[in-house]
């Protein structure tokens, strides 16, 4: 379906194109009743008022919009460095938008950010969160390419392209190492399913637990340190395990885990073994240093930016269609330190 035009809105509202233009620009007065009719027609037709046409007339490239899912996660800081480094030589500016401030997702925020990307005639989008099918298809129809990084793209008519880490490989490495320490009671602290990496991390940990004969419990919490600390502290106070291995799903959940362990007066690694997803720069300065899955987020960000550049070159104009085989999965490495018992 082609994007609606001023002419389409004018026809639906029963007014002139000039009236529709004035409704959105504010350059000339429009009665409230007429304005309401125009806005209702625009909403029905999914028309987006247009900075787009002006940008096209100027023939100046719009920004590349990087959509993160909680900038409080240190993982994204390194990823953004990789994206910026790869895009530095391009003629496009980069704008960052957080779809889940403090780890709390709001669909209205996503809708607003996508609309703003279209209005500003974004040259491309890199998203760390899986967008709704509707928003993904809007970007495709408007000819704005999108690459997902650290998340799968939606199952959409236009297809999708992503750069992700191999979470099943990561889970196998974690399970193998916990088995080496003869630890067979595991707890995976994980964020909500809105983050698509949740599914592959859970699947990988279940497979690892089955292979190594371990008992795996899954504790869901909101994707922030405070919520994870509260959830884990409650779990620990109501669960008696002689030796527990905790796997934190990401950096904010690792921080929450540390708060919960401190509140319960449990010591790592003597009483609790601790492993987490996502390497971060100060992990070796924690006491004890934390054993982590290193996804090389900087490299993943650079790969996503490079893939976006290629798509932009292949589709200079018109609607975008993707081939799933263009997606890429990156291998990971378990960085063994002391928190696991080594």
- Indicate if 23 and 108 belong to the same structural domain: no
Query: For the segment 244-264, what is each residue's pLDDT rounded down to a tens digit?
Result: 999 999 999 999 999 999 999
Considering the domain architecture, whether residues 216 and 315 belong to the same structural domain is answered as no
Both tokens assigned to 164: 């992700």
pLDDT at 56 over 70: no
Would residue 340 count as lying in a domain?
no
Quote the CA–CA distance of 186 and 204 in Å, as a whole number.
13
Q: Are residues 82 and 110 in the same domain?
A: yes
Task: Tell me what pLDDT residue 59 has.
Answer: 46
Given a cut of 80, is residue 130 above it in pLDDT? Answer: yes
Query: 295 or 321: which carries more pLDDT confidence?
Result: 295
For the full predicted model, state whether its pTM sits above 0.75.
Answer: yes
Arithmetic mean of pLDDT over the chain:
89
* DSSP class of 289: P
pLDDT, one tens digit per residue, over 180-238 is: 999 999 999 999 999 999 999 999 999 999 999 999 999 999 999 999 999 999 999 99
Is the domain of 173 the same as that of 274?
Answer: yes
**What DSSP letter does each residue of 63-114 carry, written as one string?**
PEEEEES-TTSHHHHHHHHHHHHHHTTSS--EEEEESSGGG---HHHHHHHH
Asked whether residue 224 falls in the same domain as residue 280, the answer is yes
Q: Residue 50 falls within a domain, yes or no?
A: no
- DSSP classification of residue 203: H
Supply the range of the domain harboring residue 72. Answer: 61-165+298-332
What's the CA gap between 117 and 110, in Å, rounded? Answer: 11
Do 171 and 205 lie in one domain? The reply is yes
**CATH classification at residue 117:** 3.40.50.2300
Check: CB of residue 125 under 8 Å from CB of residue 63: no
Same domain, 40 and 185: no
Task: Please report whether residue 52 resides in a domain.
Answer: no
Asked whether the CA dihedral 243, 248, 254, 256 is positive or negative, the reply is: negative
Question: How many domains are there within the chain?
Answer: 3
Do 107 and 12 reside in the same domain of the chain? no
Indicate if 177 and 287 belong to the same structural domain.
yes
């Amino acid at each position: 379906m082609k994007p609606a035009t001023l002419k389409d809105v004018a026809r639906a509202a029963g007014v002139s194109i000039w009236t529709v233009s004035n409704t959105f620009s504010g350059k000339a007065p429009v009665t409230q009743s007429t304005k309401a009719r125009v806005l209702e027609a625009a909403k029905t037709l999914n028309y987006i008022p247009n900075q787009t046409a002006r940008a096209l007339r100027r023939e100046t490239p719009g920004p590349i919009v990087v959509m993160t899912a909680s900038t409080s996660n240190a993982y994204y800081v390194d990823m953004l460095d990789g994206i910026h480094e790869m895009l530095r030589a391009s003629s496009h500016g980069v704008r960052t938008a957080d779809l889940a401030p403090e780890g709390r997702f709001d669909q209205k925020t996503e809708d607003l950010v996508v609309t703003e990307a279209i209005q500003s005639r974004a040259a491309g989008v890199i998203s760390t969160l899986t967008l709704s099918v509707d928003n993904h298809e809007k970007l495709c129809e408007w000819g704005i390419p999108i690459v997902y990084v650290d998340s799968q793209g939606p199952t959409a008519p236009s297809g999708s392209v992503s750069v992700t880490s191999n979470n099943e490989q990561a889970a196998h490495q974690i399970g193998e190492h916990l088995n080496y320490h003869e630890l067979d009671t595991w707890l995976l602290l994980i964020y909500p399913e809105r983050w698509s990496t949740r599914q592959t991390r859970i699947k990988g940990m279940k497979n690892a637990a089955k292979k190594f004969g371990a008992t795996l419990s899954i504790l869901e919490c909101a994707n922030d340190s405070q919520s994870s600390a509260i959830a884990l502290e409650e779990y620990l106070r109501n669960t008696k395990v002689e030796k527990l291995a905790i796997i934190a799903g990401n950096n904010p959940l690792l921080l929450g885990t540390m708060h919960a362990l401190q509140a319960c007066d449990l010591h790592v690694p003597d009483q609790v073994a601790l492993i987490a997803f996502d390497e971060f720069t100060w992990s070796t300065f924690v006491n004890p240093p934390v054993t982590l899955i290193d996804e090389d987020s900087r490299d993943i960000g650079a790969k996503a930016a490079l893939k976006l550049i290629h798509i932009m070159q292949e589709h200079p104009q018109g609607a975008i269609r993707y081939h799933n085989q263009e997606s890429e999965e990156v291998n990971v490495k378990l960085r063994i330190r002391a928190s696991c018992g080594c």
